[in-house]
Chains A and B, each alone.
Chain A
């Protein structure tokens, strides 16, 4: 049995197959490979990352002094701004005439106490850091406002009067707030903005359970790098020979909490083919350290970590 095959059909099919096959390979798009840029990265451990990102859980313990100071100076109860409302419990206690004076008197008695431990904890030689403590307080607008109010109202007795004056305003408010499930939204809109005092009148510039910046200021690498950069600006190495990489000088730097030098830097050891050249390099480094002070950017809460900075000056990258 003969099958008649149309040669033109066969040729057409063959041509189509060829064209489609060619098209499959030539028109196939290549996968897009994005160009990778190299970025400098610092490798840190998970512990360090956690430390940077976590809040200061131990903040209360670490910073008892600022809190004490702020209690003495700030007194959240004195806030005469109408938006700040007192808890009901406080209102109840104030309603009785005799008890209120006692709790008010107690904090007044505590006021002179906080300055004493502050003076004891920090050496008497350092009054300046204490004077500079208002700086972090400036970051907290509430604390600033409270301070301003305090300065305007010095004696504690008027405070009692003001607290009493505030009370009648607060008393009628609960009466207005009758709960109606059908009008929750309206009630919420009418409700005055309120804010509860922090932790029972414990104020601090940084939150005790974490802040927006986390514990970044505690990052050792941060202040070490900043300190190195600052000293580098003043360091003029006295040697640029081809064996410069063999010279090193170890210098210990006693620091004050305000970032100035507690005493002259101490040359611990010098190394290099020529002792006299190494000594000159060390002396030059010492000059740079003294010249570039005060290092006021150093984190005060980490003072124990940089009370004595141990530094090594080398010349290996200079050529």
Chain B
């Protein structure tokens, strides 16, 4: 070995040692290479009386299903339980739960009060340290026991992951029944887990693209009535509905602003369509785009300062971002592997970190996410026909509809934004165009 080579090798070795090789003293670094759900034991809620047995089991089941479906938790099979919890006011024997490798333990009790209300109590334990992580009690009418279960699920989720949950929320969608050529489409609403389905329209007229308002009390959607299709506002509580604006032409693809005071939508003008925003208080409208192209599917950023939308102004449908007041739009979708791919139905995450979209290319429809500057594009699912993503209130899960083609119909699916844990969302029949509500418990005071 000549001198120069020796010096080079010595120098590189010293450089590696100095840059923090495994031999360098200092902090040990651990980066797990795979994600594993948290093992959690959910015991049957103790009934306050013999009459509370069903509701106790129901709450336990809803919590278990919620956490399991999130993909972040792995509920331990109750058949393996060693200890039976009969009194939630006594600390559990944690050794019994450590042997099951459970990291967290949920105990609870459901008791009907003398005034007829239902009292729900729960405790969340850290099995490893033996500490109580959360303990809450709620009072509600017995018919809302499922909401209590969702709220408790959110508490557990938030305590263990550090993020707000999304279980106490609803989904509005288009329910589809009948043969394909004479499909009846009704506006429907359900809990995020598919329970408590409620129909908002009778199906006499075709409805499309329903969207929740930020306070979850109103829905805006497009309906094909007697004349041109129009954008409507629908109050869930009162059942009242009204047309948004009085435009000479078809209006479609509506969506609320984050403060709920405005509705942004597309207005057809000849062969083109442009974006307009209407102030719901003053009823004044403002044109945001004026191009000889189809601009549609607008969606606000959570802070309300920007809008993403799809436009074919470049010859093919792509996603653009511009200021909420209009102006210069910047294209953010650029397919690297397929220059003929098109992007549509953009929707901004409630957290503001991603924009979800439908991508059509190579004979497939994919659901994906990208950062608002267009970087970090990631396809989460692909197939014959996937479309219409909507974010969960915490921005961690996407729901979309998938149509397998043929004589069948579309169904709703959910997938984690990391692309894991794809699940079918139960619906009474065919379903499309889902839109997730904000967290109900966070909007209760609005």
- Interface positions of A (Cβ within 8 A of B): 42-45, 48, 220-221, 224-225, 227-228, 231-232, 235-243, 250, 264, 274, 276-281, 284-287, 290-291, 309-319
Q: Which residue of B lies closest to A287 (CB)?
A: B128
Whole-angstrom CA separation of A278 from B161 in the bound complex: 9
Q: Do A315 and B418 touch (CB < 8 A)?
A: no
Q: Do B369 and A314 touch (CB < 8 A)?
A: no
In-complex Cβ contact of B32 among A45, A221, A312, A315 (8 A): A315
In the assembled complex, the CB of B213 is this many whole angstroms from the nearest CB of chain A, namely: 26
Contacts A224-B22, A242-B354; is A287 near B126 (CB within 8 Å)?
yes
For residue B30, which residues in chain A have a CB less than 8 angstroms away from its CB?
228, 231-232, 235, 285, 311-314
Whole-angstrom CA separation of A161 from B275 in the bound complex: 110
In the assembled complex, the CB of A165 is this many whole angstroms from the nearest CB of chain B, namely: 56
Most buried by B among A236, A241, A285, A312: A236
For residue B161, which residues in chain A have a CB less than 8 angstroms away from its CB?
238-239, 277, 280
For residue B160, which residues in chain A have a CB less than 8 angstroms away from its CB?
238, 280, 284
Chain B residue total in the interface (Cβ 8 A): 43
Seed contacts A228-B29, A279-B162, A312-B28; 18 additional CB < 8 Å A-B pairs:
A42-B22, A43-B16, A43-B21, A45-B23, A236-B36, A238-B160, A239-B163, A241-B418, A242-B378, A274-B162, A287-B103, A290-B129, A291-B98, A291-B103, A312-B30, A313-B29, A314-B29, A315-B32
Whole-angstrom CA separation of A99 from B143 in the bound complex: 98
- CB 8 Å contact bits of B75-87 with A (1 = contact, 0 = none): 0000000000000
Most buried by B among A48, A237, A274: A237
Q: Do B28 and A228 touch (CB < 8 A)?
A: yes
For residue A316, which residues in chain B have a CB less than 8 angstroms away from its CB?
31
Q: Do A317 and B32 touch (CB < 8 A)?
A: yes
For residue A286, which residues in chain B have a CB less than 8 angstroms away from its CB?
129
Q: Do A318 and B32 touch (CB < 8 A)?
A: yes
Q: Do A220 and B163 touch (CB < 8 A)?
A: no
For residue B222, which residues in chain A have a CB less than 8 angstroms away from its CB?
none
Contacts A228-B30, A232-B30; is A240 near B35 (CB within 8 Å)?
yes
A contact patch SS: mixed
In the assembled complex, the CB of B308 is this many whole angstroms from the nearest CB of chain A, namely: 18
Interface members, chain B 136-175 (any A CB < 8 Å): 158, 160-163
In the assembled complex, the CB of B332 is this many whole angstroms from the nearest CB of chain A, namely: 16
Whole-angstrom CA separation of A53 from B176 in the bound complex: 75
Q: Do A312 and B162 touch (CB < 8 A)?
A: no
In the assembled complex, the CB of A122 is this many whole angstroms from the nearest CB of chain B, namely: 24
In the assembled complex, the CB of B236 is this many whole angstroms from the nearest CB of chain A, namely: 31
Check if B26 is an interface residue, CB within 8 A of chain A.
yes
In-complex Cβ contact of B38 among A236, A241, A310, A315 (8 A): A236
Whole-angstrom CA separation of A309 from B29 in the bound complex: 11
Whole-angstrom CA separation of A298 from B33 in the bound complex: 24
Q: Do B31 and A315 touch (CB < 8 A)?
A: yes
Q: Do A318 and B23 touch (CB < 8 A)?
A: no
Q: Do A250 and B13 touch (CB < 8 A)?
A: no
- CB 8 Å contact bits of B50-92 with A (1 = contact, 0 = none): 0000000000000000000000100000000000000000000
Q: Do B417 and A236 touch (CB < 8 A)?
A: no
12 examples of A-B residue contacts, CB within 8 angstroms: A43-B16, A220-B25, A232-B30, A238-B162, A240-B416, A250-B27, A276-B158, A284-B103, A309-B28, A311-B27, A316-B31, A318-B34
For residue A48, which residues in chain B have a CB less than 8 angstroms away from its CB?
23
For residue B21, which residues in chain A have a CB less than 8 angstroms away from its CB?
42-43
For residue B98, which residues in chain A have a CB less than 8 angstroms away from its CB?
291
Q: Which residue of B lies closest to A282 (CB)?
A: B162
Q: Do A311 and B28 touch (CB < 8 A)?
A: yes
Q: Do A317 and B162 touch (CB < 8 A)?
A: no
Whole-angstrom CA separation of A44 from B33 in the bound complex: 25
For residue A284, which residues in chain B have a CB less than 8 angstroms away from its CB?
38, 103, 160
